Amino acid sequence: MQIAVASGKGGTGKTLLSTCLMKVLSEYNPVLVDADVEEPNAGLVLKQQVIDTVKVNRLVPEIDLQQCNLCGKCAEICKFNALVVLAHKVLVFNELCHSCGACAYLCPEAAIKEKGHHIGVIEEADIPGYGTLLTGRLTVGEAQSPPLIKATKNKKQAAQLRIIDCPPGTTCAMIESIRDSDYCLLITEPTPFGLHDLELSLEAVGLLGIPGGLVINRWQGQEQELADLSSRTGIPVLARIPFSQELARAYMQGRDPLEAMPALRSILSDIMGQIKEALS
Ligand code: SF4
Ligand code: SF4
């Protein structure tokens, strides 16, 4: 089973939820994938010891000017304006290239080869007693995160339980992260901030046909707008994590949130029970 943990905006508690779920469900020896590759932090929370690091490349075009006749077809084909044909050469902008391979396939002179462009690394860490953490870490300045997210998610596919800590928002990165999941948990706060972004995330989850549920973090009794959203969209509110200064303090200090708020364990077990029921 693969459970994605997403949110409309950042800072709502995605990593708190993902890492605590991993701990509560340790009997399944879960794999937690930190797909928030621009700013991964599950490793910090879990105090990871990296045991393996793998480099990840994506393919970008390389022009052989001996073969190229500067016909301009490749620049016409590229929908991302990653190629510019000048009077004496062809410029390739790797940052704009989406690695679709169309230019290499369609060049009439077979003047385009594809070469690897380094985009980041995948770190693997053993979290003793809890499972395995896979972290995608994007190279600073690299604009294309989905290929790294895909490569990170492709590892350890056979695990019985996989939890995906997704990037915030509804970008291509979020879509790549939640893709192929059996269920998507959307964590939010009971404030008007980010409600619009949350609605967009719900829409994305619905378009991909993934069943989903809301988890309200820092709950203090008010939830009218979220209750309205839930009844309008049919996405249930699965749980409310009460606001707790002690929980916030423990999390910031690197202490175990499950010790700071023991009730969290039963809240998470209950979420899992509801997911199993929804999928049965
Ligand atoms: S399509 Fe091929 S031959 Fe034409 S400009 Fe591009 S690389 Fe050169
Ligand atoms: S691989 Fe695709 S996106 Fe990249 S330069 Fe070629 S046509 Fe453009």
Structure confidence by residue, pLDDT tens digits, 145-176: 999 999 999 999 999 999 999 998 888 999 99
Q: Whose CA is nearest to atom 2 of ligand 2?
A: 100
Measured CA to CA, the distance from residue 250 to residue 227 in angstroms comes to: 29
Instruction: Tell me what pLDDT residue 88 has.
Output: 95
Measured CA to CA, the distance from residue 91 to residue 130 in angstroms comes to: 49
Tell me: pLDDT of 222 over 80. Answer: no
Tell me what the mean pLDDT of segment 134-142 comes to.
95
Tell me what the mean pLDDT of segment 191-209 comes to.
85
Tell me what the mean pLDDT of segment 78-85 comes to.
97
Instruction: Tell me what pLDDT residue 224 has.
Output: 81
The tokens describing 166, both together, are 């997704």
Instruction: Tell me what pLDDT residue 262 has.
Output: 94
Tokens 């044909």 belong to 85
What is the crossing angle of helices 195-207 and 224-233, to 10°? Answer: 20
Q: Identify the CATH number of the domain defined by range 2-46+130-279.
A: 3.40.50.300
Ligand 2 within 6 A of 105 CB? Answer: no
Query: 3-class DSSP state for residue 96?
Result: coil
Tell me what the mean pLDDT of segment 213-236 comes to.
86
pLDDT band, very low/low/confident/very high, at 72 (cuts 50, 70, 90): very high
Tell me: pLDDT of 143 over 90. Answer: no
Atom of ligand 2 nearest to the CA of 98: 3
Measured CA angle at 7 (ends 133, 2), to 5 deg: 45
At 36, phi and psi to the nearest 5? -85, 65
CB atoms within 10 A of CB 255: 13
Which of 185, 44, 56, 55 lies closest to 127, judged by CA?
Answer: 44
The amino acid at residue 217 is N
For ligand 1, residues with CB inside 6 Å are 63, 68-74, 85, 90, 107, 109, 111-112
Atom of ligand 1 nearest to the CA of 77: 1
Tell me what the mean pLDDT of segment 232-244 comes to.
91
pLDDT band, very low/low/confident/very high, at 189 (cuts 50, 70, 90): confident
Measured CA to CA, the distance from residue 219 to residue 227 in angstroms comes to: 13
Which of 22, 25, 7 lies closest to 273, judged by CA?
Answer: 25
Ligand 2 within 6 A of 103 CB? Answer: yes
Ligand nearest to the CA of 98: 2
Alpha-carbon torsion, ordered 186, 190, 192, 195, to 10 deg: 10
Tokens 């994305």 belong to 204
Instruction: Tell me what pLDDT residue 278 has.
Output: 92
pLDDT band, very low/low/confident/very high, at 225 (cuts 50, 70, 90): confident
Tell me what the mean pLDDT of segment 60-83 comes to.
97
| 81 Cα to the center of ligand 2, angstroms | 8
The tokens describing 51, both together, are 């045991």
Query: Where in the chain do CATH 3.40.50.300 domains reside?
Result: 2-46+130-279
pLDDT band, very low/low/confident/very high, at 106 (cuts 50, 70, 90): very high
Task: Collect all residues with Cβ–Cβ distance below 8 Å to 87 and sequence separation of at least 6.
Answer: 70
Which of 180, 188, 183 lies closest to 17, judged by CA?
Answer: 188
Tell me: pLDDT of 194 over 80. Answer: no
| 87 Cα to the center of ligand 1, angstroms | 12
Q: Whose CA is nearest to atom 6 of ligand 2?
A: 103
Q: Identify the CATH number of the domain defined by range 59-118.
A: 3.30.70.20
Atom of ligand 1 nearest to the CA of 61: 7
Measured CA to CA, the distance from residue 178 to residue 167 in angstroms comes to: 10
pLDDT band, very low/low/confident/very high, at 234 (cuts 50, 70, 90): confident
- Mean of the per-residue pLDDT values for the chain? 93
Ligand 2 within 6 A of 98 CB? Answer: yes
Tell me what the mean pLDDT of segment 186-211 comes to.
87
Ligand 2 within 6 A of 7 CB? Answer: no
Considering the entire predicted model, what is its pTM? 0.90
Instruction: Tell me what pLDDT residue 30 has.
Output: 97
Tell me what the mean pLDDT of segment 55-80 comes to.
97
Which of 49, 1, 51 lies closest to 28, judged by CA?
Answer: 1
Query: Where in the chain do CATH 3.30.70.20 domains reside?
Result: 59-118
